[in-house]
Amino acid sequence: MELRIGVREGSRELSVETDMDATKLKQLVHAALEGSALEVTDSKGRTLIVPTSAIAFVEIGSEDGRRVGFIA
């Protein structure tokens, strides 16, 4: 699942590929917005910590994987 985080006063977004499902990510983001930081572990085991004061937006990717091939 891809998670994109927009950073205030920044021109780029943070993009994280994680093994969590969408429901778990939504709960994590809502809990973080009430707290002080959003902490996410990516699929390689690295941890990303973003202070909630710096978060502009959070986009959670769809459950469907990317399609490969051509559509006729």
What is the tens place of the pLDDT at every residue in 20-39? Answer: 999 999 999 999 999 999 99
First to last CA, the chain: 27
Distance of CA 23 to the CA centre of its chain: 12
Residue 34 lies in a domain: yes
Residue 71 lies in a domain: no
Residue 51 binned pLDDT confidence (cut-offs 50, 70, 90): very high
Q: Which residues touch 53 (CB under 8 Å, ≥6 apart)?
A: 8
Residue 66 lies in a domain: no
Structure tokens at 63: 């459950």
Instruction: Give the whole-angstrom CA distance, residue 37 versus residue 57.
Output: 14
Residue 13 lies in a domain: yes
Residue 49 lies in a domain: yes
Q: What is the pLDDT of residue 10?
A: 87
Here the CATH number for the domain that contains residue 7 is: 2.30.30
User: Which 3 state secondary structure label does DSSP give 33?
Assistant: helix
Domains of the chain: total? 1
Residue 67 binned pLDDT confidence (cut-offs 50, 70, 90): low
Residue 9 lies in a domain: yes
Q: Which domain holds residue 25?
A: 2-60
